[in-house]
Amino acid sequence: MTADVEPSRLQPQVLPLFADRTPRVVDSDEAFGDKAAEVPGPDTAGLPAPTQRVIVGDARKIDLPDASVDLIVTSPPYWKKRDYGHADQIGLEDTPQGFVSSIMDCFQEWRRLLRPTGSIFLNVGDTYYKRSLMGIPGRIEAAAMDNGWLVRNRIIWAKEKGQGMPEPAKNRLANRHEYIIHFSPRTNYYYDLFGYSAEYGNGANPGDVWTMGLDRNMGAHLAPYPRELVRRAIVLACPPTVCTTCGVPPERVVARTARLDPSRPQAKRAMQLAVEKGLTEAHIAAIQATGVSDAGKALSFQTGTGRNSKSVQTLAREAKEALGGYFREFTFAKKITTGWTSCGHEGRTRGVVLDPFMGTGTTLQVALQTGRDAIGVDLNPIAPEVG
Ligand SMILES: C[S@@+](CC[C@H](N)C(=O)[O-])C[C@H]1O[C@@H](n2cnc3c(N)ncnc32)[C@H](O)[C@@H]1O
């Protein structure tokens, strides 16, 4: 591979491939910008402000219509940890099996409430009993799978240094993590990995370990969980809006740009070379369509290039000759949101987050802050300070 290509060969006017449209030469940093403006989120203009509703009752029988909830984010009582002082409380069953059975009764009800694109993020920790961990999170996962649920992720909430509960044990390590298990009844649950990665992963998939501290105002006896835990779950799996006619949420449409990160020296050099050699946006699109190995999508189709396989491969070859090894930089170029899908109907409503063990209402607070409608259920709800 060589970068010594005659610039004139790459001038668009001498390339018959460009005869069908006026090529835009990559000639400045601006030319590496977006072809389309970034669209931040589905349109919520005109929708009423997010609402919250608190229902006093049992998580196993909730007075809500079928298919009316987009996401459940919740932390049930952990087995044998606390007495919430109510005859119908979950958590003080005699055996782990009894506890898991109560949680499965909840799941059965929650399945009814979820829209077809809905899912559950369940924060749960384990319990030592008679000197052994009981494997509660794993038992819940196994029972849920037996009941037809998919276990999509077992996320580890790693507590920041000094933030676990003090433990007297001298012959084992102190517990410093809990789980957040993502369950879905179907494979087509709503999931915005792109939006989440942009916020928490610098564009790359951020992985299944969430290192979070406890919020400062957490009273130990109430067992609230961090707001960030709820926020992450909502960003990932609660659509901002859903259709009032069919309940389908708009999904993010993403396109690759030619924009590179100029803070990386290799990316900067790649941009300089592209300018020097007179490459066009069509060249960059061709590199992206063929990919690093030349075995990319261009062999069968070329999303966004508007050209046939042969011409795309020719463009990619020219660009790779011009850029040398730096062509790889353009295969990692930034992606942007260019729009949101539409089911074709008009009406929209906000996505709905439910916490069936709402406690102090952490979930409701975050749902409202992120523009979702919020519903909380608890045998003993503690009035949430919303804001
Ligand atoms: C671990 S706390 C939830 C804490 C909450 N995530 C927060 O941020 O404050 C568990 C809650 O479940 C409630 N609870 C226990 N059994 C219940 C049941 N059968 N139905 C509904 N709520 C129940 C308790 O009253 C308690 O508020």
Q: How do the domains of the chain map onto residue ranges?
A: 7-32+258-333, 52-241+356-378
pLDDT in tens, 94-124: 999 999 999 999 999 999 999 999 999 999 9
Which atom in ligand 1 lies closest to the alpha carbon of residue 381?
27
**Using a 6 Å CB cutoff, which residues line ligand 1?**
58-59, 75, 77, 84, 88-90, 222-225, 357, 359-360, 362, 377-380
Q: What spacing in Å lies between the alpha carbon of 357 and ligand 1's midpoint?
A: 4
Q: What spacing in Å lies between the alpha carbon of 13 and ligand 1's midpoint?
A: 69
Q: What spacing in Å lies between the alpha carbon of 76 and ligand 1's midpoint?
A: 6
- Neighbour-count burial of 124, counting CB atoms closer than 10 A to its CB (0-12 exposed, 13-18 middle, 19+ buried): buried
Question: Which residue's CA lies nearest to atom 3 of ligand 1?
Answer: 359
Q: How many CB atoms lie within 10 A of CB 75?
A: 23
Tokens of 71: 């996401």
pLDDT in tens, 200-254: 987 789 999 999 987 765 554 466 899 999 999 999 999 999 999 999 999 999 9
Would you state the pLDDT for residue 295? 47
What is the CATH architecture of 52-241+356-378?
3-Layer(aba) Sandwich (3.40)
Would you state the pLDDT for residue 223? 61
pLDDT in tens, 165-195: 778 889 999 999 999 999 999 999 999 999 9
Mean pLDDT for the chain overall: 85
Question: Which residue's CA lies nearest to atom 22 of ligand 1?
Answer: 378
Tokens of 65: 């219509």
Could you tell me which residues come within 8 angstroms of residue 377 by beta carbon, excluding any fewer than 6 positions away? 54, 55, 56, 57, 58, 59, 62, 354, 355, 356, 357, 358
Could you tell me which residues come within 8 angstroms of residue 92 by beta carbon, excluding any fewer than 6 positions away? 80, 83
pLDDT in tens, 315-362: 989 999 999 999 888 887 888 899 999 999 999 999 999 999 999 999
